[in-house]
Chains A and B, each alone.
Chain A
Amino acid sequence: MATNERSFINTVWDFFCSLKLTLFLLISLALTSIIGTVLPQGAVPPEYIASISPTKFQIYTKLGFFDMYHSWWFIALLYVFSLNLVSCSIKRLPHVFKFISEPTLVLGEGLRNSFSLKKELSFSGSAEKAKERLAEFLRKEFSTPVITEHNGEFHLFAQKTAWCRLGVYVVHFSILVIFVGAIIGSLYGFKGYVNIVEGTGASAFQGRNGQQIPLGFEVFCEKFNVEFYASGAPKEFRSTLTVLENGKPVPGYSRVKVIVNEPMTYKGITFYQSSYGRASEGGEHYVTVAQRGGGTPEKYTVREGVTVTLKDGTSFRLLEATDEVRQFAPGFSGPAARMEVTRKGAAPQIFIVFKDFPEVNAQRGDALIFGYEGSNAKQYTGLQVANDPGVWVVWLGCTLMVVGIGIAFFMSHKRMWVVVSKGHARLYGNASKNQAAFQMQFEDISEKFQEIKI
C-alpha cells in the first residue's frame, strides 16, 4: 500500500516535471489563444450575437469564449504551466549546482571517447614535469586548472563561465516574476475611464464594472483641441489639464499638455488621452435658412434631433454635427452638420451643410438654402485612468528574461582537460553551446599545445 502511494506520488511528480508536458502546454496555449483573436472579447456586439445560432452562443458563453483569457480553463492552463516550470526547476537545479560546484575533474574513458575535440602530445620528460608545465600552459591560455592524480595519470581540469548554465533558469524564473507582477496588478491596481467636458473638472472616474471611484483630487479640463494634417488625417489630440487639490491648482500640474503617447501622472495615477467627443448636453447649433430668390437668411438656434417647422410647412432636423468634417467628407474642413429636410408632402432628404463652404450649400438645387454657423456645444476629452503597482515587477521580470536569454543563448560553459600519462598528454575540450566558436578557440590552443617541448 505504502509503496503504491509512493509510486503514485512519483508518477504525479514525474508528470509535472516532464518536458513533454511543457511541449503540450506551449502548443495548447498557442492553439487556444487563437480563439480570443477570432471571437469578440468582452462586451459582445449585438450584431455578432444575431449572426450566430442561439445554441452556439450559449455554448461559447458557457465555455467562456467571450472572455477566454480570464476563463477558468485558460487560467488553469497557466497554473499548470507555472507548476511545470517550478517542478522542472526543483528537479534539475540541484544537478546543475552540483555540476558547477563539483565538476568532472577526472576524465573517464567514456567521456574521452565522446569528445570530438582532442589533441595528443608526446614528450620524453617525466610526467611530473609535464604536469607542471601543462598546468602553467592552461593557466596562461585558458584558465587555472585543478590537478588530480588518478591511476597513475594526472588529470588537469580547467573551465570558464560555468555559471552560465544557470541562464536557462533565470529565464524560467523571470516568467514566474512576470506572473507575480500581473497578479499584483489585477489585485491592487485599477483601470477606468473618465470624460471631462471643457471648463469642468472630475474628482472620480468610472471603473471597469461601471462604478464611480473617487480620485482623491480633481482633474480640470481647461481645453481640448484636435489638429489635422492637410490631408485630413489627425495630427494631434490635446487635452490641457490642471490638477486641483481642495480647489487649488497643484504647482507643476497646472495646464499640463496631455497628448496620445504623452500621459500625465499624479500621485501614481496616470491619465492617458484616449478619446474625445462633443458634449451632448446643453449644446445648441446655429442653422441658417435663406430663400434662393434673396433676402436675409433667417437664423435658428436648434438642439440636436429636435424638429423645427418653417412657415411654409417644410420641417428640418439637425441629426449630428462636428467641429471638423475632414474625416467624414474628404476635401472639406471646419464645422458641418448633417440635416434632414422634409418639404411638405415630399420624402425626407438628408445632406451635409458646411460652415466654411456656403457656395457648396448653395449648390443644392432647392428653393431653400440651408447653412450652418457652428454651435456653442463644448467638447469633452476622454481619458483613460490607470494605476498598476505590479508594473515594476513585470519590468523586472522582462529584464531578467532578456538577461537570461542572453546568457542561455550567447554564453557557453567551456571545459578543458589535459590527461598526462607517461610519455604523452592528451588535451580535450567541450562547450555547452556554440561548438563552432569554441572549436576555433580549441584549435588555436591545441596548436600551441603541440609545440610544447618537455
Chain B
Amino acid sequence: MTSSMLFNVTTFTYLISMIIFFAFLASKNKSLGLAGSFVAYAGLAVQTVAIALRWKESYDMGVGHAPMSNLYESIVFFTWTIILIFAYIDIRYKYRVVGAFVVPFALLGMAWAQLGMNTGIEPLVPALQSNWLLYHVITCFLGYAAFAVACGISTMYLIKTAVEGTNSSASAGGLMSMFPPLKVLDDLNYRAIMIGFPLLTLGIITGAAWANYAWGTYWSWDPKETWSLIVWFVYAAFLHARITKGWVGKRAAWLSVIGFAATIFCYLGVNLFLSGLHSYGSSKM
C-alpha cells in the first residue's frame, strides 16, 4: 500500500460523496444526506492515513519532512483541512446540504493535484528547513479551509435569495426548501469566518515570526505577505460590517465570497501571476 494509491482512493471517495450529496439535493431523501456525510468522513480518514504514510515514505527515502513542502502537497493538505472544517460544522450544526457546496471544493483540489501535478516526494530546499514551516502551513490552511466552507455557505445564501427573490410566492418550495433558512446560513457563514479569522491571524503571525527568525525581517511587503494581509483586511471588514446595520445578509455573503477569492489568489495567484516580479538570483537562497 502506498500513499499515492490512497490519495487516488481519497479523490474517488470525495467524488462519490459529492454525487450522493447532489442526489440528496434532488431527492430530499434524508438518509442520502447522512450517507454523503459518512462517505466524506471515510475519505477524510483515508486521506489522513495517506498523509501520514507519505510523511513516513519521505523518511524512508532519507529526505524526511512533513508533507507540506510543495504545491502538490499543500493542495492535498488544503483539501484535507476543508473536509475537516466541514466535518466540524456538519457535526455541530447538522445542516447536511452544506456538503453539496463544500465537498466539490475538496474534490476539485484533489483531482487537480492528482492529475495535473508532479506528485514526487522532493527533498526540502534550505529555505524550508525549519519547524516553523509546520506551524505556519497548518494554521494558514486551516484558516483558508474555514473560508472555503464560508464561501460555500455564502453561495447557498446567494442562490437562495436569488431564487426566492424572483418567485416571491410564499413558499418557493422545491430545491430551496432543502437549504437552511437564510438566517441560519448567514449565521453559519459568520461562524465559519469566526473559525477562519483567528487561524489566519495565527498564520500571518507565525509567518512573520519565521521570516524574522530566518531573515531578520518580520515584514517585507513581499507579494505573498501583502496578499495575506489583504485577505485579513477583507475578513476584518466582514466582521465589522456585521456590527453596523444593513451589512448582514446579502452583502455579508458577497464579502465572504470576495474574501475567499482573495484567499485563493493569495494561495495560488501570487505564485502563478506575480512570481515574475519576484525572481531570486541564481546564487540567492
Q: Which of B103-150 contact A (CB under 8 A)?
A: 122-123, 125-127, 129-130, 132
Give the shortest distance, in Å, between B219 (CB) and chain A (any CB): 8
Give the shortest distance, in Å, between B130 (CB) and chain A (any CB): 4
Q: Which of B202-234 contact A (CB under 8 A)?
A: 202, 205, 208-209, 212-219, 221, 223, 226-227, 229-230, 233-234
Instruction: Return the contact of B213 from the options A27, A30, A263, A277 (Cβ within 8 A).
Output: A263
CA distance A22 to B81 in the complex (A): 31
CA distance A385 to B216 in the complex (A): 8
Stretch at the interface among B28-36, B47-55, B154-162, B275-283: B275-283
Contacts of B209 in A (CB 8 A): 395, 398
CA distance A273 to B127 in the complex (A): 10
Interface residues of chain B: helix, strand, loop or mixed (majority): helix
Please judge, given known A-B contacts A37-B274, A398-B208, A405-B201, whether A261 and B130 are in contact too, CB under 8 Å: yes
Give the shortest distance, in Å, between A322 (CB) and chain B (any CB): 9
Contacts of B229 in A (CB 8 A): 33
Q: Are A272 and B214 in contact (CB under 8 A)?
A: yes
Q: Are A260 and B216 in contact (CB under 8 A)?
A: no
Q: Is A234 an interface residue (CB 8 A)?
A: yes
Contacts of A385 in B (CB 8 A): 216
Q: Is B248 an interface residue (CB 8 A)?
A: no
Please judge, given known A-B contacts A36-B226, A394-B218, whether A409 and B194 are in contact too, CB under 8 Å: yes
CA distance A260 to B274 in the complex (A): 24
Give the shortest distance, in Å, between A61 (CB) and chain B (any CB): 17
Q: Are B126 and A237 in contact (CB under 8 A)?
A: yes
Q: Which of A211-239 contact B (CB under 8 A)?
A: 229, 231, 233-237
Please judge, given known A-B contacts A260-B285, A261-B126, A402-B201, whether A26 and B226 are in contact too, CB under 8 Å: no
CA distance A362 to B243 in the complex (A): 76
Please judge, given known A-B contacts A30-B230, A405-B197, whether A398 and B205 are in contact too, CB under 8 Å: yes
Q: Are B227 and A37 in contact (CB under 8 A)?
A: yes
Q: Is A59 an interface residue (CB 8 A)?
A: no
Q: Are A229 and B214 in contact (CB under 8 A)?
A: no
Q: Is A388 an interface residue (CB 8 A)?
A: yes
Q: Are B226 and A33 in contact (CB under 8 A)?
A: yes
CA distance A119 to B281 in the complex (A): 71
Q: Is B172 an interface residue (CB 8 A)?
A: no
CA distance A382 to B127 in the complex (A): 15
Chain A, 390-411, contact with B by CB distance < 8 Å: what is the 0/1 string?
0100110010011001100100
Give the shortest distance, in Å, between A184 (CB) and chain B (any CB): 13
CA distance A327 to B125 in the complex (A): 13
Q: Are B221 and A391 in contact (CB under 8 A)?
A: no
CA distance A384 to B215 in the complex (A): 7
Please judge, given known A-B contacts A273-B285, A391-B212, whether A233 and B233 are in contact too, CB under 8 Å: no
Q: Are A19 and B240 in contact (CB under 8 A)?
A: yes
Number of residues on chain A facing chain B (CB within 8 A): 52
Q: Is A386 an interface residue (CB 8 A)?
A: yes
Q: Is B63 an interface residue (CB 8 A)?
A: yes
Contacts of A26 in B (CB 8 A): 233-234, 236-237, 240
Instruction: Return the contact of A23 from the options B122, B221, B241, B270 (Cβ within 8 A).
Output: B241
Q: Which of B236-284 contact A (CB under 8 A)?
A: 236-237, 240-241, 243-244, 247, 262, 270, 274, 277, 281-284
Q: Is B181 an interface residue (CB 8 A)?
A: no
CA distance A274 to B282 in the complex (A): 12
CA distance A409 to B200 in the complex (A): 14
What residue of chain B has the Cβ atom nearest to residue A395's Cβ?
B209
Q: Are B285 and A275 in contact (CB under 8 A)?
A: yes
What residue of chain B has the Cβ atom nearest to residue A20's Cβ?
B244
Q: Is A329 an interface residue (CB 8 A)?
A: no
Q: Which of A240-286 contact B (CB under 8 A)?
A: 259-261, 263, 270, 272-277
Top-10 shortest CB links A-B = A386-B216, A30-B233, A260-B126, A37-B223, A26-B237, A261-B130, A30-B230, A398-B205, A19-B244, A229-B123
Q: List residues of chain B with CB under 8 Å of any chain A CB.
A: 63, 122-123, 125-127, 129-130, 132, 194, 197-198, 201-202, 205, 208-209, 212-219, 221, 223, 226-227, 229-230, 233-234, 236-237, 240-241, 243-244, 247, 262, 270, 274, 277, 281-285
Contacts beyond the supplied A30-B237, A40-B277: 8 A-B pairs with Cβ under 8 Å: A20-B244, A26-B240, A261-B127, A270-B216, A382-B283, A386-B216, A391-B218, A401-B201
A-B contact pairs, 18 of them (CB 8 A): A19-B240, A23-B237, A30-B233, A30-B234, A33-B229, A37-B223, A37-B227, A231-B122, A237-B126, A260-B126, A260-B127, A260-B214, A261-B214, A328-B282, A388-B212, A388-B218, A398-B209, A401-B205
